[in-house]
């Protein structure tokens, strides 16, 4: 079998565990394929996609800050990417065209379901921090996959009223956008919290300031919290959630699930999820 080359693109990228995870998957499947990390700015992204288009790369994962940028640079949007308004996987079709998919949303929905121990209660509310590609995937996971109808999204950019309104109009599901400050009334109703910014990520910032954007004392003790950051695994935000007594998870399990879904899109075969998850520990 001819080895095929796959990659993840982002900036920063040194923190990424995707190469470790996908290499483990290829070993488990007995395949000779390779997987690498590519650091690229927004201006470099088109050239990286060109490598996929010409077949030098057989498939691509996309991470921060390019999950929204990539939508305008491919030929087709799968409904998953169109609905989320962001993509994390690019597939080269047989005709050489590039199709963007979003496997983050179904992966996060599965993790929320698992952490909750089953379906969310009727009338569940959610709080999402952030307004980038990961936040849009979280909104899609909550609203489209899990049926949550009351979603509050809190972001720094929403201090600008015009940007707040624009986000509400374009969000994957109905949301209420809030300025970057805690809200006891919103927190009191929240069943699910999703931290979907890069705060706390190794190589980005320490994440200490983020803990002050949630009124932890107002949260129900039954709420669950997921931080999409996985490097490091124990962020200040997760520490604050645990101190409140919430059931918590980092982004590692979500990473494995979205990676498995991406691999299945590329190869058309069942992904070895257990091997991929084990490689991340």
Q: Give the residue numbers marked as catalytic.
A: 67
Q: What are the residue ranges of helices labelled H in the chain?
A: 18-29, 45-53, 79-84, 104-116, 133-140, 161-170, 184-189, 236-243, 252-267, 273-279
Long-range (24+ apart) CB contacts under 8 A made by 267-275 are 267/29, 267/31, 269/29, 271/25, 272/24, 272/25, 272/28, 272/29, 275/24, 275/25, 275/27, 275/28
Report how far residue 101's alpha carbon sits from residue 128's, in angstroms, rounded to the nearest whole number.
Answer: 21
Residue among 93, 107, 79 at smallest CA distance from 18 = 107
């Amino acid at each position: 079998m001819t080895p095929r080359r796959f990659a993840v693109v982002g900036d920063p990228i040194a923190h990424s565990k995707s190469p470790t995870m996908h290499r483990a998957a290829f070993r488990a499947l007995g395949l000779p394929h390779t997987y690498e990390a590519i650091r690229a700015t927004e201006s470099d992204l088109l050239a990286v996609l060109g490598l996929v288009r010409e077949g030098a790369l057989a498939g691509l994962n996309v991470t921060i800050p390019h999950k929204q940028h990539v939508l305008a640079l491919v030929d087709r949007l799968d409904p998953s990417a169109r609905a989320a308004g962001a993509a994390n996987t690019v597939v080269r079709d047989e005709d050489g065209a590039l199709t963007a998919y979003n496997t983050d949303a179904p992966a996060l929905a599965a993790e929320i379901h698992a952490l909750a121990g089953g379906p969310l209660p009727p009338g569940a509310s959610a709080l999402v921090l952030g307004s980038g590609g990961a936040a849009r995937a979280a909104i899609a996971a909550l609203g489209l996959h899990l049926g949550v109808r009351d979603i509050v999204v809190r972001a720094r950019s929403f201090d600008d009223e015009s940007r707040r309104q624009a986000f509400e109009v374009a969000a994957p599901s109905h949301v209420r956008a809030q300025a970057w400050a805690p809200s006891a009334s919103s927190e009191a109703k929240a069943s699910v919290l999703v931290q979907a910014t890069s705060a706390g990520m190794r190589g980005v910032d320490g994440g200490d300031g983020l803990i002050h954007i949630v009124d932890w004392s107002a949260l129900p003790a039954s709420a669950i919290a997921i931080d999409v950051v996985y490097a490091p695994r124990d962020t200040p935000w997760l520490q604050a959630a645990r101190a409140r007594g919430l059931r918590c998870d980092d982004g590692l399990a979500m990473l494995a699930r979205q990676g498995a879904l991406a691999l299945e899109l590329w190869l058309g075969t069942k992904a070895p999820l257990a091997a991929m998850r084990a490689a991340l520990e």
